[in-house]
Structure 1
Amino acid sequence: MTSRRKFMTILGGGVIVAAGGIGAWAATRDPAAGREPWQAAKALQAGTSSDPRIFALSHAILAPNPHNRQPWVAELSTPGEITLYFDTARRLPETDPYDRQLTIGLGCFIEVLAMAAAEIGHRAEVTLFPDGEPQPVLDDRPVARIRLVADDTVPRDPLFAQVFARHTNREAYDIARPVSAQTLDGIAGAARTARIAHATGAEDVVALRALSWSAMEIELRTRRTMKESVDLMRIGKAEIEANPDGISLGGPLMEGLSLLGMMNREEMLDPSSTMFSRSMAAQKVQFDTAMAFLWLTTPGNTRADQIAAGRDHVRMHLAVTGAGLALQPFSQALQEYDEMTGKYGDMRTALGIGENETLQMFVRLGYGPDTKPAPRWPLETRIRSA
């Protein structure tokens, strides 16, 4: 059993001084097995698979999605066709009660799939919700039927080159490096249907930092919404590799604290605890180092609008990556539960969202350190029989 004497921890400063064999132990704590699907997709060579659907799906499962829930399931019973379903066991009922954000994640999946198909000379013909749009939540009906049709004339998308470099970056951004409006104007051009706007001016950025943090505080201090995140935390290598989804807290610091009983989940939920206050302080750094903001709106809020928002969001994220920037969604003020209603209205007002528009995504930007890919379930776990 590892003893407390093995560690001297300064939480918040993020320092662990290792003693004895702990340094060697720390070097083994990378949950690399959880990232194997990224390597598997990289290893695929265009045209080498007898089934183009495998190439397309291997890349699609790398798409961004809320809380890394990976809510997609593919059925391949019809040759040349993919029927995409929502995995109803992967809901976020407290923070995403109408499955809007998860639907956006499915849109990201569809867009990356279509890009990958084009790389191997196939056109993705997408029919959304062929059995009707499920409301008020997603159900067992298909989200999309996607036919892959061989077509040598289909253009390759230059954004596809960023698929393996695109990662959500939750680290502190460089506050000495501003983000130019001109750069973001170019990124906004990646969207096909959604309206993308941005804020880069110092006064606007400071105001949006404060507003988005106040929304985050509501989520953290509302027990049921905070518990939803805490329940999805995977702390340390073993937990991450066993369940490569949810919120990964990897590395020797987090795992060491967990082994010492200092990452107690119940204390994470207790606003009076030291763990809660330190966690708050650690997360606020993300907000304090936001150097610009982008947001994405659609003219409506149908399921098709949400899918379109997801397709444009991942395109935007890939363009952000290509520009050398880092991105992290700040979704708290956009969430549709009672305690967030006031902040939802405040955010719409601050961003000048029109009466008939839906604010679908709001993200922070800046220049950040390199980060590793988020864990993913292997493709075979995301395919089901008819």
Structure 2
Amino acid sequence: MIAAAVAAPSVHNTQPWRFHRVDDATMDLYADLDRLLAVTDPSGRGLGVSCGAALFNLRLAIRMTGHDPRVLPLPDPGGRPDLLATVHAAPGGPPGADERLLHDMIPHRRTNRSPFDGRPLPRDVLVALVAAAHGEGATLVPVTGRSARRVLDRVAEAEATLAAEPAYRAELAHWTRAGTGDDGVPGHAFGPRPRHGGPPLRDFGLGGAPSPHDGGAEPADFEPDPQLAALFTAGDGPRDWLRAGQALQRVLLTATAHGVAASLFSQPLDLRPPQHRGDRVGPLGHVQMLIRLGYGPPVRPVARRPVAEVVDSREARRVRA
């Protein structure tokens, strides 16, 4: 079950989670605060979304055993704010076909930063993605036309602002890998740099020339009109971040099941100070992630830490009354 959980996406592949087995039917999910991105994610929003994605995978894995996952989010916010959720497996019915399909997609989901071919997503696929987010208490909205261009312009501005910060560059360098490793973003996952004003993907090489990390890959032509979607939650606190992560993972697994590739934009959200994230909230709430969708080439997986490294076996891990 934990192997399924840790296959979830996470910001810069930091994998900021730890698990503790409480008893035969109960698991605790903790935030690994040593993996918090202090520059990019000081409030822990991205960490919470990442852990929410892992929580969704854990729920799916529990369902495969014929149990129902009963999740208690933030059970001890005053005493243990890093304890994000307690998950209890209660007897339940057999998993449904949709649950089995999503579970089967866990090892096949990828973040794909390659060019997409520009084919529009069919309406039934978009409906399925919107329904996936709704099923987790979030809202997914396709972003098209001029709105999409404005969003991409904001992402590009945020990317340029971040890249100009020495502390950001140092943090990004720490989580990129020229070779192999169990965490961080390896060079093969950077993707080529867009040519002629393509989508503003995060520049892990931080420069205009081909990066030694990506093997000197030449710039590539991307789809002229990227298909975007924005993921919203009603609130913007730790519970909402967990909810957003679960919704995001359900959307990504649903996309994978339909043969749809995805990459993520969060740069404008990374720039927004926590004390101002409640400003100008629209009727849909707070944006938690921007998603680029389309049809792209297969990409290689990125490594995950061994299960033994994310399981906390200390008997006294929880603070008990």
- Identify the TM-score tier after normalising by the shorter chain: 0.7 to 0.9
Shift of 1:154: 5.3
Which among 209, 216, 219 is matched to residue 152 of structure 2?
Answer: 209
Letter in 2 for 1:365: L
Letter in 2 for 1:333: P
| Superposition CA RMSD, Å | 3.0
Question: How far, CA to CA, are the matches of 1:302 and 1:170 in structure 2?
Answer: 29
Shift of 1:104: 0.6
Shift of 1:356: 7.4
Match of 1:297? Answer: 232
Question: How far, CA to CA, are the matches of 1:151 and 1:125 in structure 2?
Answer: 11
What is the TM-score when the length of structure 1 is the normalising length? 0.68
State percent identity of aligned pairs. Answer: 27
Match of 2:196? Answer: none
Which among 256, 264, 271 is matched to residue 321 of structure 1?
Answer: 256
Matched position secondary structure for 1:189: helix
Match of 1:357? Answer: 285
Shift of 1:181: 5.0
Shift of 1:295: 0.8
Larger helix share, 1 or 2? 1
Question: How far, CA to CA, are the matches of 1:225 and 1:142 in structure 2?
Answer: 27
Question: How far, CA to CA, are the matches of 1:64 and 1:318 in structure 2?
Answer: 11
Match of 1:189? Answer: 131
2:39 and 2:171 in contact (8 A); partners too: yes
Shift of 1:277: 2.1
Shift of 1:200: 3.8
> Within 5 Å, which residues of 2 pair with 1:43-62?
56-62=1-7
2:153 is the alignment partner of 1:218: no
What is the TM-score when the length of structure 2 is the normalising length? 0.81
Shift of 1:97: 0.9
2:296 is the alignment partner of 1:368: yes
Shift of 1:128: 1.1
Distance 1:305 1:380, change over 3 A: same
1:95 and 1:337 in contact (8 A); partners too: no
> Within 5 Å, which residues of 2 pair with 1:172-321?
172-175=115-118, 177-180=119-122, 182-191=124-133, 192=135, 193-201=137-145, 203-236=146-179, 240=180, 243-250=181-188, 276-278=207-209, 291-321=226-256
Matched position secondary structure for 1:307: helix
Match of 1:384? Answer: 312
Question: How far, CA to CA, are the matches of 2:129 and 2:186 in structure 1?
Answer: 28
1:179 and 1:291 in contact (8 A); partners too: no
Match of 1:164? Answer: 107
2:45 is the alignment partner of 1:114: no
Q: Which runs of 5+ in 1 are unaligned?
A: 1-55, 255-267, 270-275
Q: Deviations over 1:136-187 (max 9, x none)?
A: xxx6641111112232355461322321211110112224x23345532331
Letter in 1 for 2:4: H
Letter in 2 for 1:188: V
Distance 1:133 1:297, change over 3 A: farther
1:133 and 1:303 in contact (8 A); partners too: no
2:48 and 2:238 in contact (8 A); partners too: yes
Match of 2:69? Answer: 124
Question: How far, CA to CA, are the matches of 2:228 and 2:38 in structure 1?
Answer: 27
Equivalenced residues, count: 291
Shift of 1:204: 4.0
Question: How far, CA to CA, are the matches of 1:284 and 1:357 in structure 2?
Answer: 37
Matched position secondary structure for 1:96: coil
1:174 and 1:289 in contact (8 A); partners too: no
Matched position secondary structure for 1:316: helix
Shift of 1:127: 0.9
Match of 2:201? Answer: none
Question: How far, CA to CA, are the matches of 1:283 and 1:246 in structure 2?
Answer: 22
Q: Which runs of 5+ in 2 are unaligned?
A: 193-204, 315-321
Shift of 1:326: 1.1
Match of 1:149? Answer: 90
